[in-house]
Structure 1
Amino acid sequence: MKRRKFLAASGGWIILKPETVFGTQANSAVEVGIVGCGGRGNWIGPFFPEYAGARIVALADVVRRHLEETRVKFNVDASRAYHGPEAYRELANSKLDAVVIQTPTYFHPEQVRAAIEAGKHVFVAKPVAVDVPGCKSILESARLAREKGLTLLVDFQTRAQPVFQESVERFRRGDIGKAELGQVFYFAGRPAKDRSKPGMDPGLARVLNFYMDRELGGDIIVEQNIHVIDLANWYLDAHPLRAIGTGGRTDWRGTDYDAGNAWDHFIVTFWYPNGVEVAFSSHQLTRSFSDLCVRLFGIKGAVDSHYGGLVRITGDNAWLGTEKDDTFRQGAINNVKLFVESIRSGKPFNNAEESVRSNLTCILGRMAAYQERMVTWEEMMQSEERYEVELALRW
């Protein structure tokens, strides 16, 4: 399989014939493999052929039933359905153009690395890691991707939506004046009921409930709350300098949601550059009030933006972006289209650094809350704590 080649000459780039771009012809279908055949993989998988004209040619998973059901759904040949702890590596080393990673966050760094080393483009779900060493591994993979001319796209839906892009542009040009205060929250119910069954292997139960598993998902502030924390970082074009916080976990015994060890609420104060203070809170206690929101306030007005909802600016430069945005689905579709087009055009896209910055911001908040003290960005970055999980990875 020929890949696009660049030759540096005369201070610029010489681009070889279109026929050399990923396949026999430039317009041939991009072939992708999906690692992770759970709910997310099956949800986003159809977008690749439907909206980007790509072909799903391989699958990998550690749960045989999930793998077989997804293989039938996408009509993948049985010889290209890889099962077990090394399935992701087998898929990455097989004949295809790109790897789509939709597994628990804990596994992302090694799976991204394997795909990049195999010369494959990577589309990966957010967040990218559960700890600081994992984030640094992703940065190293991003560097390698650039060297190899490969796309590494992390699927943040807000950044792919035009209304949020315009909102950020208006904010940065000064429509609310200098930002002084931020209010960021992620209020929702538990993401799913306990998926374990009597007699189930405990490791499999953890994987199925990874959203509520501290080690596999990074806790809710990393695994889910990153949506709004990333948006705050994007508006402010910065990461916090320090944070202090608290939080905890309620008693779920006797309910359908008694799974995992992740907390279900956080309260964190972040201090950003230029004197911006941001109050962050999150909970997964009840669906009776749900909202994902980022607000920033200045003397000229406020930006008020909601994931999947209202996006506007109030005050002197009032602007209504939308009453309701299809952030989750359309944002993912836009990212899929961008990903496949970057491969077809031979123009690699890489948003790993900004994604890691937001991931690390979540880890800073988690560390401050767990320890209930002030933690600086520099202290957090020096952390060598690695989350360790021992699982069979073959069920």
Structure 2
Amino acid sequence: MEEKPKTAVAGNSRKQITRRRFITRAGAAALSFTIIKPELVRGTKANSKIALGVIGCGGRGTWITNLFIEHGEYQIAAAADYFQDRVDAFGEKYHVGQSRRFINLSCYRQLLEQKLDAVAIISPPYFHPEQAAAAVDAGRHVYLAKPVAVDVPGCYGIARSGREASAGKRCFLVDFQTRANPLFREAIRRIHDGAIGEIAFGQSSYHANRLAVKAPPDGTPETNLRNWVFDKTLSGDIITEQNIHTLDVTSWIMNQPPVYAVGTGGRKVRTDVGDCWDHFAVLFQYPDNVGITFSSRQFNGHGAIGGIKNRVFGSLGVLETEYGGEVLIRGKNFYRGGRTNEIYRNGAVNNIATFYENITEGRFDNSTIAPSVRSNLVTILGRTAAYEGRLVYWDKLIKSEARLEADLTGLIA
């Protein structure tokens, strides 16, 4: 995928930090060092643990840090979050001293000045491109939560950071649990080998109840940031932030981008917090006249069967997958597969282990970047088609320079 040219930037407020204000290459280079020397890769027994900084100390950040600790070869060396209460609770839990806890919007910059080998970026997706670029510039290995970005320029920024990480012999891994699951991997390998024959059409869905509100909505900048998952700009809306799980599986199966998308959606049921839509319905048209329908909801289904599901019909059989459920192929080339009950945890565990192995064994191909960027762009294609109520072509979408710009006025830089 070709990198898009940079666009001009207009400042909004001296207290507003945007993704466009990337840390300079020269300044970041001065901060570049690792505890595990690149030429040694593994380091000695005394310094063999990966010194990890965590950006984003909320629920997901704390949860995944537990898994880094359980792995046994990571040491939490620094923590960053906008909110003092979160970083302090995190610091106490993981024995991160006060001098290595950082707050406010620029917290990630201070964290990158510490002696670190790697960073885990578990912040709101809006900030991912800037924070990942700064981490790569500073010579750190990067473990990044999905989605990688909220707009097309952000996706290109992540692609660029991935290339720069590889060139600098640094690892960059995007944490998709399904792609680390052996049942999903085997089933989709079989699909690519022709197990269900010629693909005719498919279905994908992500039907879930509403997410928890972190703070009572009061319109203040701090509360909006705590409730970022309900904010279109900070999260990319539910189709990008949450539904990317199922659309990534679609993208993986099809192994090529769609031609166009057309869709609808809205905000009709969960209207008490934020501005994200609570449902989407989109048709993704792929080459060879293969249509994949997609639907999602994020509100009370009153007992209706939900889940994260994909189904693809072919001339010889059908692939059925469910995140946390069954993975199997029906038809001529039957594959029993199995259940993926612990995929949320086990997928992250597998990715954390792979990240460690990549670092210590010197594997810098960073193969998760390209498919993650493509899946992210697929969600943006569907989102754009639904927002605008019209057919949107992939070839036009990927040339877009439109950015989602968060109003961070009132937050401390």
TM-score under structure 2 length normalisation? 0.87
What residue in structure 1 maps to residue 105 of structure 2? 85
| Structure 2: distance between partners of 1:238 and 1:151 | 25
Contact 1:93 1:115 in 2 (8 A): no
Secondary structure, in 3 states, of the residue corresponding to 1:262? coil
Mean CA deviation greater in 314-323 or 150-159: 314-323
**Closer/same/farther in 2, CA of residues 340 and 393 from structure 1, 3 Å limit:** farther
What residue in structure 2 maps to residue 314 of structure 1? 330
1:261 is aligned with what amino acid?
D
What residue in structure 2 maps to residue 143 of structure 1? 163
Deviation at 1:275, TM superposition (A): 2.5
What residue in structure 1 maps to residue 294 of structure 2? 280
Deviation at 1:272, TM superposition (A): 1.3
Task: List per-residue Cα deviations over 1:8-35 (Å, max 9, x = no partner).
Answer: xxxxxxxx5xxx2264459711110100
Secondary structure, in 3 states, of the residue corresponding to 2:330? strand
Aligned length: 376
Task: List per-residue Cα deviations over 1:242-277 (Å, max 9, x = no partner).
Answer: 111111111445xxxx11100011111111123321
What residue in structure 1 maps to residue 48 of structure 2? 28
Secondary structure, in 3 states, of the residue corresponding to 2:105? coil
Secondary structure, in 3 states, of the residue corresponding to 2:158? helix
What residue in structure 1 maps to residue 396 of structure 2? 379
**Structure 1 counterpart of 2:306, from 274, 290, 293:** 290
Deviation at 1:208, TM superposition (A): 1.6
Deviation at 1:324, TM superposition (A): 4.0
| Structure 1: distance between partners of 2:251 and 2:41 | 35
What residue in structure 1 maps to residue 261 of structure 2? 243
- Structure 2 unaligned residues grouped into runs of 5+: 1-33
Asked whether 1:328 is paired with 2:328, we answer: no
Task: List per-residue Cα deviations over 1:345-378 (Å, max 9, x = no partner).
Answer: 1222511111010000000000001111110011
**Closer/same/farther in 2, CA of residues 155 and 324 from structure 1, 3 Å limit:** closer
Contact 2:48 2:73 in 1 (8 A): no
What residue in structure 1 maps to residue 26 of structure 2? none
| Structure 2: distance between partners of 1:64 and 1:179 | 52
Asked whether 1:206 is paired with 2:224, we answer: yes
Contact 1:167 1:312 in 2 (8 A): yes
What residue in structure 2 maps to residue 37 of structure 1? 57
**Structure 1 counterpart of 2:244, from 218, 223, 226:** 226
Secondary structure, in 3 states, of the residue corresponding to 2:116? coil
Asked whether 1:106 is paired with 2:126, we answer: yes
Deviation at 1:93, TM superposition (A): 2.5
Deviation at 1:51, TM superposition (A): 1.8
Contact 1:249 1:264 in 2 (8 A): yes
TM-score under structure 1 length normalisation? 0.91
Secondary structure, in 3 states, of the residue corresponding to 2:364? coil
**Structure 2 counterpart of 1:346, from 362, 368, 373:** 362
Q: Percent identity?
A: 44
**Closer/same/farther in 2, CA of residues 101 and 142 from structure 1, 3 Å limit:** same
Contact 1:342 1:349 in 2 (8 A): no
**Closer/same/farther in 2, CA of residues 47 and 393 from structure 1, 3 Å limit:** farther
Deviation at 1:390, TM superposition (A): 2.7
Once the two structures are superposed, the pairs formed by residues 41-52 of structure 1 within 5 Å of their partners are 41-52=61-72
**Closer/same/farther in 2, CA of residues 318 and 384 from structure 1, 3 Å limit:** same
1:243 is aligned with what amino acid?
A
Asked whether 1:388 is paired with 2:405, we answer: yes
| Structure 2: distance between partners of 1:83 and 1:248 | 35
**Closer/same/farther in 2, CA of residues 393 and 149 from structure 1, 3 Å limit:** farther
**Closer/same/farther in 2, CA of residues 27 and 344 from structure 1, 3 Å limit:** farther
Deviation at 1:284, TM superposition (A): 1.0
Deviation at 1:285, TM superposition (A): 2.2
2:379 is aligned with what amino acid?
C
| Structure 2: distance between partners of 1:44 and 1:267 | 31
What residue in structure 1 maps to residue 140 of structure 2? 120
What residue in structure 1 maps to residue 16 of structure 2? none
Task: List per-residue Cα deviations over 1:316-353 (Å, max 9, x = no partner).
Answer: 11221113432111001100111112111122251111
**Closer/same/farther in 2, CA of residues 112 and 36 from structure 1, 3 Å limit:** same
- Structure 1 unaligned residues grouped into runs of 5+: 6-15
**Structure 1 counterpart of 2:385, from 368, 384, 387:** 368
What residue in structure 1 maps to residue 83 of structure 2? 63
| Structure 2: distance between partners of 1:70 and 1:195 | 17
Contact 1:52 1:340 in 2 (8 A): no
Mean CA deviation greater in 243-252 or 280-289: 280-289
**Closer/same/farther in 2, CA of residues 37 and 393 from structure 1, 3 Å limit:** farther
What residue in structure 2 maps to residue 299 of structure 1? 315
| Structure 2: distance between partners of 1:77 and 1:316 | 59
| Structure 2: distance between partners of 1:165 and 1:102 | 25
What residue in structure 1 maps to residue 149 of structure 2? 129
What residue in structure 2 maps to residue 11 of structure 1? none
Secondary structure, in 3 states, of the residue corresponding to 1:359? helix
| Structure 2: distance between partners of 1:52 and 1:217 | 31
**Structure 2 counterpart of 1:269, from 283, 295, 302:** 283
Contact 1:2 1:24 in 2 (8 A): no
What residue in structure 2 maps to residue 169 of structure 1? 189
1:280 is aligned with what amino acid?
F
**Closer/same/farther in 2, CA of residues 242 and 36 from structure 1, 3 Å limit:** same
**Closer/same/farther in 2, CA of residues 89 and 345 from structure 1, 3 Å limit:** same
Contact 1:27 1:344 in 2 (8 A): no
